[in-house]
Amino acid sequence: MNKMLTSAIVFGAGMVAYNYAQKNNLVSNRQMRKMTKRITKMF
């Protein structure tokens, strides 16, 4: 149950960060993928 909750939070945060980056064109797709991989490794 805890793992599912944390993964859901990570997924939600990742989506928010992805949308934010796309709106501001700050982060390229490659960098975004690296960031999401790092985030998922943390949990």
Give the domain ranges of the chain: 2-42
pTM: 0.43
Which value, to the nearest 10 degrees, does the dihedral of the CA atoms of residues 27, 40, 12, 1 take?
Answer: 180
CA distance between the termini of the chain: 14
d(CA 28, CA 34): 10
Q: Specify whether the CB–CB gap between 42 and 5 falls below 8 A.
A: no
- For position 27, what pLDDT does the model report? 59
pLDDT digits (tens, 9 = 90+) for 23-43: 776 656 677 678 778 877 766
